[in-house]
Each structure stands twice: as C-alpha cells, then as structure tokens.
Amino acid sequence: MDLSFGPEYETFRAELRAFLEAHRERAPRGGIVAAGGSKDAATLAWQKLLIEHGYAARTIPKQYGGYGAEPDILKRVILDEEFARAGVSAGVGGQGPDMLVPTLLEHGSEEQKQRWIGPTIRGEVVWCQGYSEPNAGSDLANVQTRASEDGADFVVNGQKIWTTTAHLADMMFGLIRTEPNEGKHGGLSYLLIPMTTPGIEVRPLGTMTGRAEFNEVFFTDVRVPQANVVGRRGEGWKIANTTLKHERNMLASAGGLEASFARLVELMKSETRDGRRAIDDPVLRDRLLRLEARVAAAKYHSMRMLTASLKKEFPGVAALVTKLSGCEISHQIAALAIDAMGELGVLYDGSKHLRAFGMWQFQYMFSLGLIIGGGTAQIQKNIIAERGLGMPREPKAA
Amino acid sequence: MDLSFGPEYETFRAELRAFLEAHRERAPRGGIVAAGGSKDAATLAWQKLLIEHGYAARTIPKQYGGYGAEPDILKRVILDEEFARAGVSAGVGGQGPDMLVPTLLEHGSEEQKQRWIGPTIRGEVVWCQGYSEPNAGSDLANVQTRASEDGADFVVNGQKIWTTTAHLADMMFGLIRTEPNEGKHGGLSYLLIPMTTPGIEVRPLGTMTGRAEFNEVFFTDVRVPQANVVGRRGEGWKIANTTLKHERNMLASAGGLEASFARLVELMKSETRDGRRAIDDPVLRDRLLRLEARVAAAKYHSMRMLTASLKKEFPGVAALVTKLSGCEISHQIAALAIDAMGELGVLYDGSKHLRAFGMWQFQYMFSLGLIIGGGTAQIQKNIIAERGLGMPREPKAA
Amino acid sequence: MDFALSDEQKLLEQSLRRYLAESVPATRVREIMATETAHDAKLWRDLAELGAAGVLVPEVHGGSGLALLDAALVQQSLGHAAAPAPFLATSVLGPIAFAAGTPAQQAEWLPRIAAAQTVLGAAFTELVHRRDAAGVRESNGRLDGTALFVIDAGAAAAFLVAVDRARIALVARDAAGLTATPLATIDATRRVAELRFESVAPAEWIGGAAGVPELAARVLAAGRVALAADVLGACERAIEMAVAYAKQRVQFGRPIATFQAVKHLCAEMIAELEPARSLVWYAAHAFDHRPEEAVAMSLHAKAHLAEIGTQIVRTATEVHGGIGFTSEHDLHLWFKRVGLDRQLLGGPEVVRAEGAALHGW
Amino acid sequence: MDFALSDEQKLLEQSLRRYLAESVPATRVREIMATETAHDAKLWRDLAELGAAGVLVPEVHGGSGLALLDAALVQQSLGHAAAPAPFLATSVLGPIAFAAGTPAQQAEWLPRIAAAQTVLGAAFTELVHRRDAAGVRESNGRLDGTALFVIDAGAAAAFLVAVDRARIALVARDAAGLTATPLATIDATRRVAELRFESVAPAEWIGGAAGVPELAARVLAAGRVALAADVLGACERAIEMAVAYAKQRVQFGRPIATFQAVKHLCAEMIAELEPARSLVWYAAHAFDHRPEEAVAMSLHAKAHLAEIGTQIVRTATEVHGGIGFTSEHDLHLWFKRVGLDRQLLGGPEVVRAEGAALHGW
C-alpha cells in the first residue's frame, strides 16, 4: 500500500495545473465530461494538445498515435482530480477510446490497429457499440442480427437497440451472427461497421428521462467487408467479454460518484425547509453519511481493482462487484437529493424553481436505467455467484 | 368496513374487565403469553374458568367442550386487548388448540373429535408438531420418517427436528411416510402419536439464543394404531397445508408486534446516552416511526385477513404474505432496541446492567429463527409468486 | 363488525375500474397529459356520473355523501389508471374544507363539485412547511406572497389557499392581483402551479376570517390518505404490469417469470403492497370513525406508502429490464406518478417527524 | 504507488490464517470461550511468535514496528477465526496510547506487549458517550466512578482508562479500590467488564496528568478501524460458510447453491463485502499516512462495516436455514461477534453523528 505522492508526482501535478491554467481557454465548453461524439474543431484541437502533453491517450503506444507512457494509477488519479478541480474538459472519451481501442490492442490485426486507433483517440472517428437487441438484453448471446457471406463481404440484416451516440457515430463495433450453425455463443463475430453504409437506419429511442440518450439501429442488406472482423470469426462472444471488462476505467466512475456526492452536500447546505438547511436535518444527514461511506468504499475499491489490473493480477470476485454497486450509489445519491428538496425535487423539464437543470431527477432515472443496462442486476448476481464464488449453474430445463 | 364498538361490545368488554379484575389472582403467573405445555393445577383451573365464561375456546362447538360462540373478530380483538392490558394469562395456547384442533374440526373423524378436542382445549393434553426433519426443512414434502404396516398398527422409524414443547407433550401430530410408492407428496399421512410410546426419544436442540426452544425427536420401531391417521392415508400433505393456514390466529401475532413495539417505545424513553433519551435522537426516532407504520399495517392486515377467513372468502395473494413480514418486523423492532441501548444492548445471559432479562437480544435472534422456520423466506416467496401471482414454476431439471 | 370493503364499495371500485380501463387507457392518458392543462372535461364529467366527483359531497348537495374510505378507493382507481383528473383538490380537499364553510359557501360550491362543473386547486403546501421564500400572508384583508406546489392547478377555476399557515381562503383564478404560473414536474398527468398574490382580496374565508380550529389538520390528513391511496393504485398497476411482462418475456429460452430471482422480486413487491393496502383502508376509515387516530394514521399511511411505493415502481422497472426504461413503454407513467405523490404534502421524513411530534416524542 | 497489500502483509496474513485454521478451529474457540477469562495463554504467546502481538510495537522495543494496516490484517484474521485473544486492547490500543507515553512507560510496557507477557484492558467507552451513570473522574490525584464495557478485560493485568472523558490513566488490576465485574455479552469469545473506582490512585498517566491533545481521538480512530477489520474477517468467514453449505445442502433434489435465490443472497453478501474491504484498507492506511483523513475514515469504516456486517451475518444464517440457528453449528459465533463489534466504541448512528460533526455539518 503506497499512496504517497512523491516528488515525481508533485511535479506531474504542478505541470498539469500550470498547463490547465495556461490553456483552459482553449478547452471546449461543457465541463469535465469527456465528449463522446463531438468533432468540432475546438474539441479535436484540445484532444491533440492533451495527447501531446500526455494528458490523454496516455498509455496508448506511440506507434498508434498515443503518448506511450507506462500505466501509473497515481498519475491517473492526479489527472482525474485536476481536470475535475479545474472544471475543464478531459478530452475525447466514449466507447471508441474506452472500449474499442483496448479491444483492438488485445485482439486486432496490425492493420486494424494502424487504421483505427489513431483516428479514434484523436476523436476523428466516433464509435458506437452494437451489442444489445430487442431479444438479446440480459441474454446477450441471443443476438439475432445476422450476416450472410457474399463474396468478400458480409450482408448484415437485423436490429440493435440501446445504442448510445449511434446518431453521431462514424463506426459501430458490434456482435453479429456470422456462423448460423455454431450455437448461441460460438456463432458470433466482432464486426466493425461503417455507419454510413447504405441500409443502416438510426432512430432515436426515448426513455423515461424524457431525453433520447439511446437509439435503435436497423440493418437492411448492409454490406461490410469480411476483413472488418476483429479476431477470428465466431470469437465475437469471447472478445466482447474482454471489452466489457475494459468498460470505462473504473476510477472515472468512482470519480463521478465523488463529484455527485460533493454536489449533494452543496445542495443540502443551500436547500431549506422552514428556514432550516437540509443538512441540519439529522435524519437526512444520517443518510448523507451512509452514502459518504459507500462513495469512499467505491473509490478505494476502484483503486484496488485498477492496481490489480495493472499488475495483471486476477482480483477474483472482487472485480465482479463494482458495477452492481456503482449505479446503485448514484441512484441513492439522487434519491437523497430529491428528498432533501422535497416538492422542489420533483420539478422537471425547465420548470421555474428547477434546481441544476433537473440534473437530480435525470440522475435518479438514468442510474436506474444503468442498473438495468449492461446486463441487469440479476444477471450480474448470477455472474458473481457462479464465476466469483464458484456456485454451480442452474440445471438445464428438461 | 365496520369497526364500531356497539353497545353489545362495550358490554362484552365491561364484563371481561370485571371478570379479570375479580379473578386475576387465580390466573397463573407468567403474563399474557399463552402457556403451551404447563399442566399445573392453577393453569388448568384458570383455563376451565375461561372456557366457562367464553374467554377461551370460544368458537369451539359445545359438544366438543368449547363455548360454542359464533366467530366475532371484534370480540377477539377485545379479548386480546383486555388480557394484554391486564397483563393476565389468556389461558392455554400452543400447537394443540391453535393447530391440531382446527384440523380435527375440519378433517377428523367424529371419534377423533370426541376424544381429543376437549382434553386439548382444557390443557389436559399437550401437543407438539412433527413436520420438519433434517432433510425436510424448506422441502417439507421430503419427509423420510416412515411407517410400515404391522397388523392394525404402524411401526414408525425416523427423526423429527425443530419440535417445540416435545419434551412436555403428551401427543404429536406429524407427517409420516406411510405409502412408500406414492411419490413425495402423496406418500404422507397425518398421524397422531402418543409421546409415551416406547421407542420415542426426545433430545433438546440448542440454538444461538442459548436456550433450548426446540427438540429433536427420534423414533425407533414406534407402534402407532392405524386408526390414529387423520383424514385418509396419503392425504397428510394436503391436511398439513390446511393446518399451516390455521397457524396461530393472525391477530395474536400482530398483537405481539404491537406489544413489542410498545415496549420498544418505553425502552427508548428510558435509555439515555450522555443524558439524552434515545427517543430524542431524531435518527433513532425516525426508525421508530417507520416501524410503527409497519406494525399498524400488520395489525390491520391481520384484521382484514381474519375477516376474509370468517366470511369464507379467499383473499388471494394477500393471505400469503403475512408470515413474510411479521417475523421481519419483530426482528427490526429488536434491532432498533439494541441500537438504542448501544453497548448495553449486547449484554446477555444475566449480566449486570442487563435490560429486560435479555429479552431484546433473544427476540433479535429468535425472530431470525422464525424467518427461517416454517419454510424459509425463500420458499415463502416462491409460494407467493406461484400461487399468489400465478407465475409459472421453474422448469424441472434435466 | 368487519374489516372489509362493503358491497357498495366494491361496486364503486369495479365500475370505476371498468370505465377507466375502457375510456382512459394509457394512450388516452398520454393525449390528455400532452394538453396544456392536462384536463379532460369529458373524463371529469364521466367521473361525476359514476358518483366519483361528488363522493364526499353530502347528498343534500347532490353528492353521494360517502366517507374518506370511498374517496380513497376512487383515488386509488385513478392512481391505477394514472388518470389525469383534479380529484384530489376538487373532490377530496374541497368537500372536507367546505364542511367547515358557511351554508352559503356549501350551497354554492358543493353541488358544482358533485356535478363536475368546476375544478378547484389546493395551495396547502404551507400547512406542511415553507420552501424558498414562499408564504401567503394576510394584512388588512389583502393577500400577499407566493404559494408553491398548488395541487390540480391546471384547470382550476378557484383555489383553496392556506394563509398564514393556518387559515384557508377561497380565491378565484381571475382575482385581481393573482398570477398562476405552471410548474412542470416529472409527472405530467397532474398539473402543479405557483400562485403569486399581490394585494389580492380573498373571495371568501372558509369558516370565517378567524379560521376554524383543526381545519388545517383535517384537510392535510384527508389529502395525505388520498395520496397514499394514489400510490397504492399506481403500485397495483406497476405490479400487474411486471407480472404480466415476466410471464411473456422470454430470455435464455424460457419466460423470465420462471426465474426465481424475478419471482422473488414480484413476491417482495406484493408482500409490501398488501399490508399497506390494509393500512390505507384503516387510515381512511379512522378519518371518519376514529377521530383520535385520524391524524396519526394519515401520517403513517402517507409515509409508508411513499417508501414502499418508491421501491415497488423501481422494482417493477427492473423486472421489465430495458423496455421499462423507454418512454414508449407506459410503465414510467406510474413510476413518475409515485414520485410526485411521495413529495406532495410532505415527503416521508417530514411526515414521520410530524408523527413523532404528535406522539410528544 | 499501488493500492494493494505488500508481499510482507500477504505473508503475515497467510501465516496467521494458517496458524489459526490449524490451532484455533471452532472447537478450540468453544473450549477457550467456556473458560472464565476466555484467555488462552498459549494462543496469546503463539500470536507473539507470529509477530502479531507486537505488530504495532516499535522494533526497538521488540515489536515489528508496523502500521495500523498490518494490525488491521491481524484483527481481521482473528475475526475470521472468531479467535479469543486480547489483541484489540493490548496490541492496538495499547501501543497507540503508549506512543504518547514517557520513555519509561514505553520501556516498561511495550516489550511485554510484543512478547505477549501481559494483557491490557481498555476502558474507553466514555470517550464516545456515557450510558447510565457511568463516568470516571479524577480529583486530588484519585479516581472515582464507573467505567462500563471495558474491552478485553478478561485476563487484563492493567487497564487503560479514559478519565474525565479526555485523559488516559493506566491502572493495575490489583490497585486498591478497583473492582472489576464481568459483563456477559452475546459474544463469549471476548470478555467485557465494568470497572468500579473508589479513590483509586492511578499508577500512571499516559503522557502526563495533563493529557495529550488528540490522544483520545487517536486511540478511538485506531480502535474503530480494528473493529471494522474484525467485522470484515467475521463476514468473510460467514460468507465462506454460507457458500460451502449451499454447495453441499440438497433440497428439492439439487444443491441449494443451484437456486437463483440462494445464489443471489451470496452474491449480495460478497458485493457488499469487497468494496468494504477496500475501505478498511484505506482507513487503516490513512491512520498512518493521511492524518487529515484518519478520523473521518475510521468513522466511515466503523459505521459501514457495522451496517453491512449485521446484514451479512444475518443473510449467511438465512442461507443455512435451520441448522445455522442451532448452537451446535458454529455460524452463530460470527453472528454474535459482529453483534458486539457493532456496538463497541459507538454504534453506527452514533459514529455517523460524529462524522457529521467532524465535517461541521
């Protein structure tokens, strides 16, 4: 356990602060949330600057356009802290840099790496993820979107759902059934699909939050070169599972909880009821303290998991539980914020008196969507019990 | 919805109060908890007096030794309230009067009714229940204790567990496998077994509470007349399920929660921390109010269910959920009491400073035992979902 | 004596549910909630014909002259349908308040309520607490200040307004100096507003300018029981939807209703709901028949239903998986309805603190 | 930098676990807890040989000179074994307190702690709060009053005693005027007592009669982290037992581990425990390396582990069904150990209130 910030790190932090101070005017607006689809000139220029200084694409090898540094959690922590403190965009994020790039580094051909990693981390190519389907929600291996061979191409037909940023994306990485005779898991391939291909239609999918964070994507005779398969044909299920593990570095998610908790504290200091601040209500305050402990646990747990992953150690069941708790804590933070505001907490949609643009209700609903998404909590628990605790699978139905 | 206490009921209450005032010295000690195994002269005399006045065995037909009154919930409520208020024993209870007698009334032969109901309600014959076995816990139909025929008798071999009052009981009503070829459910009979029969051994079973509330009962070549089967052979499973429905009238259990909650309030008014009463701590008080609502819901729910059962209406899923919540509330009441006492709350075993003879820790642990007992909470939930909500059973394992 | 709904009550509930199922399905709810006031005059008149709008109005004034339990059953049915109807303010809080009114007030308003010829809004939040700088004060017969979170304000022709946190005034929507501003909430099936008073002359005081002791406590108690009943109905519906969906949705080759985890989620929902239903019945009954318990029981019902309701609509959404999170699917209507119910007239912590104070704890 | 146990720490943990598994199985725990003091001199000496008793004692005094994280790992292993050993008072609170002592005190006590040649009890409850009429006061150099819930009092040769809720005195068990009365708790693996002082001359003050600023906060923080670690170990064990039992117990013709409901109970337990482990590590680390966070993190660790610990031992009991409720089965040893840990040095509500005050909230 060594969390000391030695001189090297203090220097790193000081340089970063100076950099942010000097250049913050060049950063795109919109705070620290990494943009997932914005290709305006300011964003691309800012990302370029960040990569040059090693503040983005930090550990991506130089030959693919990254900064080529060794992984270093403490520097990762410092980066998160300082961008958050400065309230400055941390550059381009999203499913391309966070999910596709690690997958290509592990499974892609040299040609695929050369072609896609650079443009992706620079933000020039935006990706969306095509996993879920109407009948492949928690049962992801039930993917029905299929590709038949036609010369050097695949011809894809079917439908994806819950596809974030599909309306902005240049490319999709998705699971497609290419081997109809190979059973549920063995029949899938991990395919890279240009979103401009004729036959692709993107429709926004409204959710209970009232915003369209997701899309449906329809494929009708969409031609994709067979060369766009990552890894081998029929290995898509295995590769997608690796990608899921890469899903958004865990520190960032814990950092999000910390930031959200800090906003909750501010809220509870400013909202009043009969002139008394919410934070002075002992019952609400007790809930606040419970959450603070949970946020701290999530934060240090993510540091522990990241350490293990950098050391290539297998942390066992401990690695499987992060997802289950993160969204739940976010939901509970929002729930407390709403209760602290009382009737003000149910205002929405640009109402007069609305706090923080309705962020809290949005978070309350959206975090529930996340609890459901990416494999429902029920499936997560199966995985924890079976893979993590070695409990036997349910017997197959007769 | 008619909960009015009309003149008839006020008279009933006044008479009862006068009776309790006049005769309370004749009641056995030990408060209002109905004795389940005490056959001392004072108890039997008290029970006789209660039956004569219609304050016990109230709705049991006269020809079987009861008072023969029509069921009347409000009088039942008044009885519970007034015995509780007076702190006087409500007479003989336990598994004989509460479970066996309703079963005999419904399924017993005329001879069985004549023979057993009178002595049971008078407290002269004490019963224990023989359902659970080491390998038939949540899976009750897995009963292995078996009876082979030998002339007019059965010869019983096997083992029961979790048998309360077995060490005091004259008789057991139990599930015994009499039809080895009839499958899990169809092979059981509901058998009345004299506990004095040679070959029966009762061993106390210690629990985490530190007391022996339960027993194990071992059967070695125990001879029981075949005439002691209630209903028909092989119908034991069906009959036992009726008995489970009779299990201790539900008002009493809600009444127990109310009494326990009242004690909790008293406790929180007397326990202090740095001179401040527990009830003045807003966080503990909030938990108290949450529980008060739950206790009230349980109380009125039990009145609703009792009304339905007296009208012979089927209340559907609503009837299946009582058990799940009752023990849980009891557990939570005790948990709050312990937290309100802090370190004093973990004292036990006659320690100096111990509150209420350690009742709260006992309740905390024992209610957990009850949550587990009588079909674990997990099984209860299956029943609620399948019988109550019509959800399909799990497919059989291949 | 018995603890059950009467045959008449069952009939009322059945006829309402049948009407709402046929005439106000979710598609219709969505149409009504998309209008400016979320008010459907025909639906409102139909409710009058079914005896719902005037359920609490004395027969002499053209109503059914029933009790709060009956009103709670109506509210529950409305919650079950997520029906946009100004029942809470107009048909529950209105008649309860006017019961303390003058004969003239009663004669003027109660028949119109029973016939669904008017809509009332209720500005009672201040009876619970003040948020921000809200507050309506009276001085020299004039009202000044702001009332927040006015219930059923969409199509209201007049407002019942808590003044100085104790008295209740009746103010016409078009009174000089009164401005109503809609406040958008998560639940579009009902309309909440802010009222701004600038030297408004109150049309009337309910029970005289000096106020009626206990009137504030009475309207709050009735309103809270009604909100609890609304949650009850909404949760019934959410559970019905979850169970039905689980039976038809196939994953891993079988209906998800066969998975123990899904079953147990459903079992936990119903196990919470059924005792809560008994509590709501009793709280409503106590309002008319056990006055000494009425306030305490209204607090328990409100707080308890808010807590379990929030949990149930969340669980129902989880059982649905992704589809329950879409705006296309109807489930979120109930999710949001419960969200608003939870906070109106006091969130659960607030209500429990009142309960403790009532006990003298 | 890394957030992980060092190889040395893993080794320490492994050697302790191996020793405890072999030498202090539940059968042995039951034997020791049945004795009057629940103290096993051999076990205590063995812990010294394994470097556990002196884990916090500086090397110059014969200890390992390690940090609170190492001590927490020892405590966690003891919790995992439900081992009866006076580690908390003697080896955690003792060295932390003596660090503020005089060189003479250190030279006298620390080597004996490291060698397991003595046992200390800790009367620190008053630093948190007073229950009943407890309280130890100093007047003219004499101590009077009562200290409740003295930790590890069974075989203690001397007691560290909070006086006037701020200073810490060291009093020999056989001091004139001191009476120790055992208090029986649900957890028989550790012994708690009441101390009665009647004009007792304190043997020593730690850090002088004027007291050491922050010393009280420091011992409390260390003690709370250790108690959190004890819960962590106990819960690990409870989960191991539940998972193992579920794999072998057959009902309805298959191991209950194949039932989704049982699986999910186990998944929920471990999902709570693993992040909590990271929190305990950090809280222990902060004690030595992030002084500005040390107190806050000790409060979080104590309260959070108490809450999830109570839930986990309950769930583990439910997974076991009836057998887990018997005294014959060992599970209740951990159930009760967590029950005592929850309340010692402040229950969760108490600790969270301190946390809020620390924030200035």
The one-letter amino acid code at B340 reads A
pLDDT tens, residue by residue, A15-49: 999 999 999 999 987 665 555 667 888 899 999 99
What does the block give as tokens for C43? 């639906």
| CA–CA distance, D17 with A364 (Å, rounded to integer) | 43
Q: What is the mean pLDDT of residues B103-107?
A: 93
Q: Does B396 touch chain A (CB under 8 A)?
A: yes
Residues of B in contact with D224 (CB under 8 A): none
All residues of chain C having their beta carbon less than 8 Å from the beta carbon of residue B279 are 361
Using the structure block, give the residue that is written with the tokens 């900064």: A67
Straight-line distance from the first to the last Cα atom of chain D, in angstroms, rounded to the nearest whole number: 33
Could you tell me the two tokens for A315? 């942390």
Per the CB < 8 Å rule, is A283 touching C194? no
Secondary structure (DSSP) of B18-60: HHHHHHGGGSPSSTTSPBSS---HHHHHHHHHHHHHTSSSTTS
Name the helix (H) or strand (E) containing B307.
helix B282-310
Residues in a beta bridge with C159 = C121, C171
Are residues A46 and A89 in contact, defined by beta-carbon separation less than 8 angstroms? yes
Q: Which pLDDT band, with edges at 50, 70 and 90, does B315 fall under?
A: confident
CA angle B33, B38, B40 (to 5 degrees): 120
Global pTM value: 0.92
Which one is predicted more confidently, A273 or A322? Answer: A273
The residues pairing with B189 across neighbouring beta strands, listed in sequence order, are B176
- If you write DSSP's letter for every residue of D43-78 in order, what string do you get? HHHHHHHTT-TTTTS-GGGTS----HHHHHHHHHHH
Question: What is the pLDDT at residue A214?
Answer: 86
Tracing tokens 């929507």 back to the chain, one arrives at C173
3-state secondary structure of D138: strand
Confidence of residue A377 (pLDDT cuts 50, 70, 90): confident
Higher pLDDT, D97 or A315: D97
| Cβ contact C123:C159 at 8 Å | yes
Query: Any idea which residue has 């990254």 for tokens?
Result: A66
Q: Going residue by residue through chain C (361 aa), what tens digit of pLDDT does each one get?
A: 689 999 999 999 999 999 999 999 999 999 999 999 999 999 999 999 999 999 999 999 999 999 999 999 999 999 999 999 999 999 999 999 999 999 999 999 999 999 999 999 999 999 999 998 899 999 999 999 999 999 999 999 999 999 999 899 999 999 999 999 999 999 999 999 999 999 999 889 998 888 888 899 999 999 999 999 999 999 999 999 999 999 999 888 899 999 999 999 999 999 999 999 999 999 999 999 999 999 999 999 999 999 999 999 999 999 998 888 888 999 999 999 999 999 999 999 999 999 999 999 9
- Share above pLDDT 70 across residues of chain D, in percent, rounded to a whole number: 100
Are A317 and D361 a contacting pair at CB < 8 A? no
Residue B313 burial (10 A CB sphere; 0-12, 13-18, 19+)? exposed
Chains that touch B (3 or more CB pairs under 8 A): A, C, D
- Find the residue in A nearest to C184 (Cα): A351
Which conformational region is residue B112 in: left (phi greater than 0), alpha (psi within -120 to 50 degrees), or beta? alpha
Nearest CA in chain B to A395: B397
Continuous H helices in C255-330: 260-289, 291-320
pLDDT surpassing 80 at residue B375? no
What is the rounded (10 degree) CA torsion for D114, D120, D126, D132? 150
pLDDT band at B18 (very low <50, low <70, confident <90, very high): very high
Residue B120, φ and ψ in degrees, nearest 5: -70, -45
Q: H or E segment at C31?
A: helix C26-33
Q: What is the dihedral of CA B103, B105, B106, B111, to 10 degrees?
A: 100
- The token duo for C28 is 């219709």
The pLDDT tens digits of the residues spanning D124-182 come to 999 999 998 899 999 999 999 999 999 999 999 999 999 999 899 999 999 999 999 99
- A chain contacts of residue B396, beta-carbon cutoff 8 Å: 397-398
Give contacts of B 254-283 with A, CB under 8 A.
281-283
- The whole-chain average pLDDT of chain D stands at 95
Where, residue-wise, is CATH 1.20.140.10 in chain C?
215-358
- C-beta separation of B302 from B323 below 8 A: no
Chain C residues in contact with A343 by the CB 8 A cut-off are 125, 131, 148-149, 192, 343-344
CA atoms within 13 A on the CB side of A57: 30
Of B283, B342, B382, the CB nearest to D343: B342
- Rounded average pLDDT over A105-119: 96
pLDDT tens track for A326-363:
889 999 999 999 999 999 999 998 899 999 888 899 98
Q: Tell me the nearest-neighbour CA distance from A332 into chain B, angstroms.
A: 18
Distance from CA of B256 to the nearest CA of A (A): 28
Q: How is residue B150 annotated by DSSP? A: E
Residues 6+ apart with CB under 8 A from D262: A391, B378, D246, D256, D319
More confident of the two residues D93 and B8 = D93
Q: Where in chain D is CATH 2.40.110.10?
A: 120-205
Domain range D120-205, CATH architecture: Beta Barrel (2.40)
The residues of chain D that CATH labels 1.10.540.10 are 7-114
In chain C, which residue's Cα lies nearest the Cα of B378? C264
Residue listed under structure tokens 């209700």 = A361
Domains in chain B: boundaries: 7-93, 127-233, 252-388
Chain D residues with CB within 8 Å of chain C CB: 259-261, 264
Render the burial of C61-86: b for 16+ CB within 10 Å, e for the rest.
Answer: bbbbbbbbbbbbbbbbbbbbbbbbbb
Check CB contact under 8 Å for B343 and D149.
yes
Give the whole-number percent of chain B exceeding pLDDT 70.
94
Find, among C306, C311, C304, C190, the residue nearest to C242 by Cα: C311
For the segment C46-70, what is each residue's pLDDT rounded down to a tens digit?
999 999 999 999 999 999 999 999 9
Residue D59 Cα to chain centre, angstroms: 23
| Residues in chain C within 8 Å Cβ distance of A376 | 318, 321
From D261, which residue of chain B is nearest by alpha-carbon distance? B378
- CB burial of residue D172 (10 Å; 0-12, 13-18, 19+): middle
Cα gap A328→B273, rounded to integer Å: 34
Cross-strand partners of D204: D170
**Quick one: D215-358 is in which CATH superfamily?**
Butyryl-CoA Dehydrogenase, subunit A, domain 3 (1.20.140.10)
CA-nearest residue to A216 within chain C is: C326
**CATH top-level class for D7-114?**
mainly alpha
* B127-233 is classed CATH 3.40.30.10: no
Whole-number Å distance between alpha carbons of A283 and A265: 14
Environment class of C26 (CB within 10 Å of its CB; exposed 0-12, middle 13-18, buried 19+): middle
- The reply to whether residue B1 touches residue C285, judged by beta carbons under 8 angstroms, is yes
Check whether A192 has a pLDDT greater than 80: yes
State the CB neighbour count (10 A cutoff) for residue B346. 27
- A 10 A CB-CB count for B263 gives 16
What pLDDT is attached to residue B246? 55
User: Residue D180 has what pLDDT?
Assistant: 97
Q: What's residue B248's pLDDT?
A: 42
Chain C: partners with 3+ C-beta pairs within 8 Å: A, B, D
Most distant CA pair in chain A, distance: 74
Higher pLDDT, D220 or B251: D220
Rounded to the nearest angstrom, the minimum Cα separation between C263 and chain B is 6
pLDDT-based confidence at residue B30 (cuts at 50, 70, 90): low
Residues D65-88 as b/e (b if ≥16 CB within 10 A, e otherwise) read bbbbbbbbbbbbbbbbbbbbbbbb
Q: Hey, what are D209's tokens?
A: 């009669």
Cβ–Cβ under 8 Å, residues A42 and A48: no
Q: What is the mean pLDDT of residues D31-51?
A: 96
Give the Cα separation of B349 and B208 in Å (integer).
12
Contacts of B373 in chain D (CB under 8 A): 322, 325
Predicted pLDDT of residue A319: 84
- Which among A247, A258, A328, A386 is annotated as catalytic? A247
Q: How far is residue A115's CA from residue A118's CA, in Å, rounded to a whole number?
A: 7
Q: Answer for the pair C46, C21: CB distance below 8 angstroms, yes or no.
A: no
The answer to whether the Cβ–Cβ distance between A351 and C183 falls below 8 Å is yes
- In Å, how far are A69, C37, C262 from B108, measured between CA atoms? 84, 65, 40
**Segment (H or E) for B192:** strand B188-194
Size of interface A-C (CB pairs under 8 A): 128
Reported ipTM: the value is 0.93
The reply to whether residue C332 touches residue A208, judged by beta carbons under 8 angstroms, is yes
Domain spanning A252-388 has what CATH number?
A: 1.20.140.10
CB pairs under 8 A between B and D: 128
Q: Report the C-alpha gap between B213 and B217 in whole angstroms.
A: 13
* For B286, nearest residue in chain A (alpha carbons): A283
**Smallest Cβ distance to B300: which of C3, C5, C270?**
C3
Question: Using CB atoms, which residue from A9, A292, A381 is nearest to D264?
Answer: A381
In Å, what is the CA distance from C302 to each residue of C226, C232, C341, C345? 9, 10, 9, 9
Nearest to residue D279, comparing CAs of A327, A316, A301?
A: A301
Backbone angles phi, psi at A128, to 5 degrees: -125, 160
